[in-house]
Chain A
Amino acid sequence: MADVVLNNLSKAFGETTAVENLSMTVPDGSFVVLLGPTGAGKTTTLRLISGLEQADAGTVEINGRAVNNDTPAQRNVAMVFQQYSLYPHMTVRENLAFPLRSPILKTPEDEITRKVQDVADVLHIAHKLDNRATALSGGEMQRVSIGRALVREPSIFLMDEPLSSLDAKLRADLRIELKRIHASLGATLLYVTHDQIEAMTMATHVGVLDQGRLVQFGSPREIYENPVSLYVAGRLGMPRINALPADLFPGAPTGAKTIGLRPEHIDQEGGKACKVVRVEHLGDQTRLHLTLEGHDIVTLTDVHTDLGTGDEIAIQPRNPLYFDAGGDRIV
């Protein structure tokens, strides 16, 4: 395992800029999650590190060595793709052994057998080893492709939305699995997702990308509590942060255009009166959809609330975030 350092990395496809001046350090043993909407440059960043794409400018350093001119094989990285991940003409066992048989690793057969068995046990696919890769369910396929990364000891694991095509329960299971693997192997991971639960639960660091640029890098808590911009604030939090005109509530600093209120940062005593539009009981939480002077607000309330549609309550902000006209945070 090793540090991975990106210096001013840029990549364009024709007219489209995919990654622009990206600098970032993935510390040894960390679990870094890249967040951003589709087209933010997350996948391109992974492909630049893996060597599947060549950077237009900037350098990639793995373990202190610039690897820009190395082939993907020489970089010793493992990658889990979003889909199309297994070699369909091979069995599960052959898929898992494939990286170990590469001319770079040339692992002895007895060691291959042992490592494949170990990984299959960890991922609960040992009973499927002799199945064809095509005879697996979606969740099993993705476990095998994660396994194909785990059999090696790469400098870094690159994962491109590995859980996005799975159903909710499998996603939750594999999330825990990945976190456990990270902890037990001390592996370095760079993980791309647009699922904020994956980011919050697994990451040691989160990087937020916006149109190819890294706009904030820090721990999940930092990103959640101290976003540098409205864009970053909108990336984490469920329900999403409420963005309202700053003059809706008193106390806005000068230059503030927008007030950002996390659902849990709204006190339901005193302040401005607003109307309940809808009450959503989700079991573990209850969401209140409110309307205040024509603006929609979502907040949380007591799980067993008596409130109903049409009721009136008064709300006021607690620990609000303020943003200027450009969306940047005002502290």
Chain B
Amino acid sequence: MSSFSITEPSSRQKWAAGTLVILYAVITLLPLFWILATGFKTPADAISYPPKILFEPSLEGYVNLFTTRTRVTPEQLEALPPPETWYEAIVRNRDMVIAGPSRYGERFLNSLIIGFGSTFLSIFLGTLAAYAFSRFRVPLKDDLLFFILSTRMMPPIAVAIPIFLMFRTLGLSDTHLGMILLYTAVNISLAVWLLKGFIDEIPREYEEAALIDGYTRFQAFYKVVLPQAATGIASTAIFCLIFAWNEYAFAVLLTSGTAQTAPPFIPTIIGVGGQDWPAVAAGATLFLVPVMVFTILLRKHLLRGITFGAVRK
């Protein structure tokens, strides 16, 4: 047996590897657990020292996240009819009444529209461009690819002021369309370059076979290239979504009312009636969910190599 042969790891090696993985998982998952737990604490428990590992769960954070409240005097509270709902009861415990819904839902919806909208647009344009760069004799191909990449050579925020002025002139400030276009512009270079790499790896023979089998080039692209590029498209889409979903600086600068996304909204909760950490944590927890679901839905495509067995190299 040579020193390069693959052997079954010994039980000690397995044990060591398992410990390392668990340790790593604990370190990376602890902040997430912290956020999740804080969302279910009362404001007092949230800031208690030493931190409470065991606590009585409360939905106060979530109630505060979705409502605006006004403080009332004990006399006024006495005069009110008994609370009709469980969340009304929670709020009255704090000598307050619900004044109306908060804007979190709206902001969350904006994040969904802008995040998924720009991801779709980036992938749509990126796939077509990547295919063209991969397969056709595009004039000035290398220069164009470099130009596309060059849009990422400085941090986008460095051009925030020009973009702010451009958006104001074009009437794109604080619109969904404006934010979708902006995030697409930032993501498109990533999408083109990543997807070109994936499409380059798909042998041309597949398309040529489809052309001869009686299909047009677009049909060959659609029926043969796209399914094979699914892995690349899925992982690129996740990258694009994560960027658009988490983006904060442009969102602060360019949105205020109608198109504001969740990231600039969540910190504003802190200022409303004291430091309401459970509400912030609740907002952050819910904010994690869409990207998590999206990634889980696409995870089978992330396992590379499923479709690459028919290629004999």
Interface residues of A (CB under 8 A from B): 50-52, 71-73, 77-79, 81, 83-89, 98-99, 102-105, 133-135, 138, 141, 145, 148, 165
Q: Chain A's nearest CB lies how many Å from the CB of B83?
A: 58
Contact (Cβ within 8 A) A88 B214: no
Selected contact of A103 from candidates B211, B215, B307, CB within 8 Å: B215
Residues of chain B lying within 8 A (CB to CB) of residue A50: 212
**A80 — nearest CB in chain B belongs to which residue?**
B209
Q: Which of B212, B309, B310 has the most CB of A within 10 A?
A: B212
Residues of chain B lying within 8 A (CB to CB) of residue A78: 212
Residues of chain B lying within 8 A (CB to CB) of residue A52: 208, 211-212
Contact (Cβ within 8 A) A84 B205: yes
Residues of chain B lying within 8 A (CB to CB) of residue A104: 214
8 residue pairs from A and B, CB less than 8 Å apart: A72-B211, A83-B312, A84-B203, A84-B205, A84-B312, A87-B209, A98-B210, A134-B309
Residues of chain A lying within 8 A (CB to CB) of residue B208: 52, 72, 79, 81
Question: What is the count of residue pairs linking A and B with beta-carbon distances less than 8 angstroms?
Answer: 78
**B307 — nearest CB in chain A belongs to which residue?**
A88
4 interchain residue pairs of minimum CB distance: A102-B214, A88-B310, A134-B309, A84-B205
Selected contact of B212 from candidates A73, A86, A133, A134, CB within 8 Å: A73
Contact (Cβ within 8 A) A84 B216: no
Residues of chain A lying within 8 A (CB to CB) of residue B214: 73, 99, 102-105
Taken together as a complex, chains A and B put the C-alpha atoms of A165 and B227 apart, in Å, by 26
Q: Chain B's nearest CB lies how many Å from the CB of A87?
A: 6
Residues of chain A lying within 8 A (CB to CB) of residue B206: 84, 87
Q: Chain A's nearest CB lies how many Å from the CB of B280?
A: 45
Taken together as a complex, chains A and B put the C-alpha atoms of A81 and B206 apart, in Å, by 10
Restricting to B218-263, which residues have a CB under 8 Å from any CB of A? 219, 224, 227-228
Q: Which of A71, A133, A135, A141 has the most CB of B within 10 A?
A: A71
Taken together as a complex, chains A and B put the C-alpha atoms of A77 and B213 apart, in Å, by 8
Instruction: Decide if B49 is an interface residue (CB 8 Å cutoff).
Output: no
Contact (Cβ within 8 A) A87 B224: yes
**B208 — nearest CB in chain A belongs to which residue?**
A52
**A50 — nearest CB in chain B belongs to which residue?**
B212
Contact (Cβ within 8 A) A79 B212: yes
Contact (Cβ within 8 A) B212 A88: no
Total residues of chain B contacting the partner, CB 8 A = 22
Residues of chain B lying within 8 A (CB to CB) of residue A133: 310
Restricting to B263-313, which residues have a CB under 8 Å from any CB of A? 307-312
Taken together as a complex, chains A and B put the C-alpha atoms of A152 and B228 apart, in Å, by 25
Residues of chain B lying within 8 A (CB to CB) of residue A85: 205, 209
Contact (Cβ within 8 A) A72 B212: yes
Q: Chain A's nearest CB lies how many Å from the CB of B209?
A: 6
Residues of chain B lying within 8 A (CB to CB) of residue A148: 209, 213
Complex interface bits, B188-213 against A, C-beta within 8 A gives 1, otherwise 0: 00000000000000010110111111
Taken together as a complex, chains A and B put the C-alpha atoms of A84 and B203 apart, in Å, by 7
**B217 — nearest CB in chain A belongs to which residue?**
A71
Contact (Cβ within 8 A) A81 B205: yes
Residues of chain A lying within 8 A (CB to CB) of residue B228: 88-89
Taken together as a complex, chains A and B put the C-alpha atoms of A126 and B93 apart, in Å, by 74
Contact (Cβ within 8 A) B209 A141: no
**B211 — nearest CB in chain A belongs to which residue?**
A72
Taken together as a complex, chains A and B put the C-alpha atoms of A73 and B219 apart, in Å, by 12
Contact (Cβ within 8 A) A99 B211: no
Given the known interface contacts A81-B205, A84-B206, the answer about A73 and B309 at a Cβ–Cβ threshold of 8 Å is no
Residues of chain B lying within 8 A (CB to CB) of residue A102: 213-215, 219
Taken together as a complex, chains A and B put the C-alpha atoms of A135 and B224 apart, in Å, by 18
Given the known interface contacts A52-B208, A84-B206, A104-B214, the answer about A165 and B310 at a Cβ–Cβ threshold of 8 Å is no
**B215 — nearest CB in chain A belongs to which residue?**
A102
Selected contact of A89 from candidates B203, B212, B227, CB within 8 Å: B227
Q: Chain A's nearest CB lies how many Å from the CB of B292?
A: 27
Q: Chain B's nearest CB lies how many Å from the CB of A72?
A: 4
Taken together as a complex, chains A and B put the C-alpha atoms of A49 and B206 apart, in Å, by 18
Q: Chain A's nearest CB lies how many Å from the CB of B82?
A: 62
Given the known interface contacts A73-B214, A73-B216, A165-B312, the answer about A81 and B209 at a Cβ–Cβ threshold of 8 Å is yes
Taken together as a complex, chains A and B put the C-alpha atoms of A50 and B215 apart, in Å, by 13
